[in-house]
Chains A and B, each alone.
Chain A
Amino acid sequence: MTELRTSETKLEFPYSRTTGPVIGAFLAGLREGKVLGIKGADGRTLVPPPEYDPETGGYLGVELVEVGPLGTVQAWAWVHDPLPKHPLDHPFAFALIRPDGADSAMLHAVDAGDPAAMRTGLRVRPRFKTEPTGLITDLEAWEAAE
């Protein structure tokens, strides 16, 4: 008799994440086509907005500030063969994008068509979904604004 060396198991469960007053407002902003940040204790504008200051741990309040709409690519990596869970079904770049008016960058997708079109310093604009649901994917991708 041959032993069974593996036993397949599949874990799946639909969790419900409570967003709180800050991430909740950020997601509500995306639904309305806006990117929102928050002022840190040192005066920097942080995007996405944290609830607690990354330097001091202090509470930052719930007053958010709109940034962008344009942003600048600060770093990027081209995805040649997107997987089913990737944000776009054709080749794209994962990039750190600093929206205008923000002092930090957010990780998102740039729909640039070709890696030759990508560079650090590229100016990009957000493209929102026409039917938003209040998720980060409401911001479908960024595209070149030059």
Chain B
Amino acid sequence: MTERCAVIGIGQTHFKKRRDDVSMPGLLREAIDRALEDAELSIGDIDAVVIGKAPDAFEGVVMPEIFLADAVGATGKPLLRVHTAGSVGGSTFIVGAHHVITGIHDRVLAVSWEKQSEGNAQWGLAGGRSGGIGAGGAFAPWIRAYIEESGAPEYIGWMVAVKDRRNAAKNTYAHLKMPDITLETVKESPMLWDPLRFHESCPSSDGACAVVLTNQAGARRSSKPAAWIDALSVRSELGQFPGRNPVRPQAGVECAHDVYRQAGITDPRREIDMAELYVPFSWYEPMWLEGHDIAGPGEGWKMVDSGETDIGGAFPVNPSGGVLSTNAIGASGMVRFAEAAMQIRGTAGEHQIDGVRTSLAQAYGGAAQYFAMGIFRSS
């Protein structure tokens, strides 16, 4: 049995460096309550719950699915926990949608989060064992490789940072809002992981994101517009192996081609109206534009340079401000899906783009080895 699946409720917390005003259960519930209110449902109306977060070592809560069952309204209901590192918010969304698409459940709540202030993500990523080079240290050599292969000027990374931080200033829930940031601000910020500067790197955030997913009958009962899911895909590969191209991972190429095929898209740059891509470090915007074949080889940075990925451009990327401005790691992938769905529903507020009929959401995780992608349409 195959049902169409729609997003009818979206909720996010306000993202901050430290949300010590709420417990971890309270943080999730803040996003869940907003999503349920948006969906015009109560927690008792939900049939099943799917939750996702990044590695347990980040906050030291082992088996959070047990700790949080009450707060996510899963008492006596099916509860699944998903884990695919930084892409987990995206894959949690997809597992939730599969519950609906297969006809197993009518109304599913998917929620993802990170409360990074309770631990230290760099330590968690290293598992307490390695040298602790951090995510930026792992990605910096690949970014350098992209710059050298593509011939992109250094200021492209600064441009992405300026765009995303200014976009975040239009987003109520975003963490870092810098409406007055300039190329100079980025250029003069300290070098963290050469060639990545401080303002080209994501923050550590506390926050959660929740979505309510339902079938056609459920969407008909909602008084608000739905965002319809036209394609979903996940792919993964080893983080390192001889012959791997980490700048353009094969799993990312295949994940993208799979969602384009499902949605009947042959020219993504023309047929997709906007995208929310997982860009924790500025250079990942052109790298994913090329890595997902939206732009040809060496053409991604030119889309940035020409302003095509600005809110007013032909292919806006991350009008929400993206991961570069807000990164509660486990939530970040789901926020991409939620924001892409909001653009379809026309509920993105100040960062809404006019006339979005087809949107793309993407999340990646680990050593750029897990991918989760989705395409939303307005009908």
Please give the residue numbers on chain A whose beta carbons come within 8 Å of chain B beta carbons, in ascending order: 9-13, 15-24, 50-59
B123 within 8 A of A: yes
B24 within 8 A of A: yes
**Cβ contacts B54-76/A at 8 Å (1 or 0 each):** 00010110000000001111110
Determine if A51 and B26 form an interchain contact, defined as CB atoms under 8 angstroms apart. yes
Q: Which residue on chain A has the smallest CB distance to residue B33?
A: A59
Q: Which residue on chain B has the smallest CB distance to residue A19?
A: B23
Given contacts A13-B120, A15-B59, A17-B24, 5 further A-B contacts (CB under 8 A): A9-B128, A13-B119, A13-B128, A51-B26, A51-B71
Contact sample, A vs B, 17 pairs, CB 8 Å cutoff: A9-B128, A9-B129, A11-B57, A11-B127, A17-B24, A18-B117, A19-B23, A21-B23, A22-B23, A24-B23, A51-B29, A52-B25, A52-B29, A52-B70, A56-B44, A57-B73, A58-B43
Q: Which residue on chain B has the smallest CB distance to residue A12?
A: B128
Please measure, in the bound complex, the distance between the C-alpha atom of A17 and the C-alpha atom of B115, giving whole angstroms. 9
Q: Which residue on chain B has the smallest CB distance to residue A11?
A: B128
Please measure, in the bound complex, the distance between the C-alpha atom of A58 and the C-alpha atom of B36, giving whole angstroms. 13
Which chain A residues border B60 with CB–CB below 8 Å? Answer: 13, 15
B224 within 8 A of A: no
Determine if B19 and A18 form an interchain contact, defined as CB atoms under 8 angstroms apart. yes
Decide: A18 near B75, CB < 8 A? Known: A11-B128, A51-B25, A52-B29: no
B299 within 8 A of A: no
The minimal Cβ–Cβ distance linking A106 to chain B, given in whole angstroms, is: 16
Please give the residue numbers on chain B whose beta carbons come within 8 Å of chain A beta carbons, in ascending order: 19-20, 22-26, 29, 43-44, 57, 59-60, 70-75, 115, 117-120, 123, 127-129
Q: Looking at chain B's contact residues, is the secondary structure mostly helix, strand, loop, or mixed?
A: loop
The minimal Cβ–Cβ distance linking B119 to chain A, given in whole angstroms, is: 5
Q: Which residue on chain B has the smallest CB distance to residue A59?
A: B29
Determine if B25 and A57 form an interchain contact, defined as CB atoms under 8 angstroms apart. no
Which chain B residues border A13 with CB–CB below 8 Å? Answer: 57, 60, 119-120, 123, 128
The minimal Cβ–Cβ distance linking B18 to chain A, given in whole angstroms, is: 8
Which chain A residues border B115 with CB–CB below 8 Å? Answer: 18
Determine if B127 and A23 form an interchain contact, defined as CB atoms under 8 angstroms apart. no
Please measure, in the bound complex, the distance between the C-alpha atom of A58 and the C-alpha atom of B74, giving whole angstroms. 11
Determine if B75 and A54 form an interchain contact, defined as CB atoms under 8 angstroms apart. yes
Which chain B residues border A59 with CB–CB below 8 Å? Answer: 29
Determine if B128 and A57 form an interchain contact, defined as CB atoms under 8 angstroms apart. no
The minimal Cβ–Cβ distance linking A96 to chain B, given in whole angstroms, is: 19
* Cβ contact of B22, chosen from A10, A11, A18, A53, cutoff 8 A: A18
Please measure, in the bound complex, the distance between the C-alpha atom of A53 and the C-alpha atom of B76, giving whole angstroms. 13
The minimal Cβ–Cβ distance linking B109 to chain A, given in whole angstroms, is: 11
Q: Which residue on chain A has the smallest CB distance to residue B19?
A: A18
Determine if A57 and B118 form an interchain contact, defined as CB atoms under 8 angstroms apart. no
The minimal Cβ–Cβ distance linking B58 to chain A, given in whole angstroms, is: 9
Please measure, in the bound complex, the distance between the C-alpha atom of A50 and the C-alpha atom of B29, giving whole angstroms. 13
Determine if A23 and B118 form an interchain contact, defined as CB atoms under 8 angstroms apart. no
Determine if A57 and B120 form an interchain contact, defined as CB atoms under 8 angstroms apart. no
The minimal Cβ–Cβ distance linking A83 to chain B, given in whole angstroms, is: 20
Please measure, in the bound complex, the distance between the C-alpha atom of A52 and the C-alpha atom of B67, giving whole angstroms. 12
Please measure, in the bound complex, the distance between the C-alpha atom of A12 and the C-alpha atom of B119, giving whole angstroms. 11
The minimal Cβ–Cβ distance linking A60 to chain B, given in whole angstroms, is: 10
Which chain B residues border A20 with CB–CB below 8 Å? Answer: 22-26
The 9 closest A-B pairs by CB, nearest first: A20-B23, A15-B60, A57-B73, A11-B128, A52-B70, A20-B26, A52-B71, A15-B119, A18-B20
Which chain A residues border B117 with CB–CB below 8 Å? Answer: 16, 18
Please measure, in the bound complex, the distance between the C-alpha atom of A59 and the C-alpha atom of B29, giving whole angstroms. 9
Please measure, in the bound complex, the distance between the C-alpha atom of A55 and the C-alpha atom of B119, giving whole angstroms. 31
Determine if A57 and B75 form an interchain contact, defined as CB atoms under 8 angstroms apart. yes
Please measure, in the bound complex, the distance between the C-alpha atom of A57 and the C-alpha atom of B74, giving whole angstroms. 8
* Cβ contact of A17, chosen from B74, B118, B123, cutoff 8 A: B118
Decide: A57 near B43, CB < 8 A? Known: A16-B117, A16-B118, A18-B20: yes
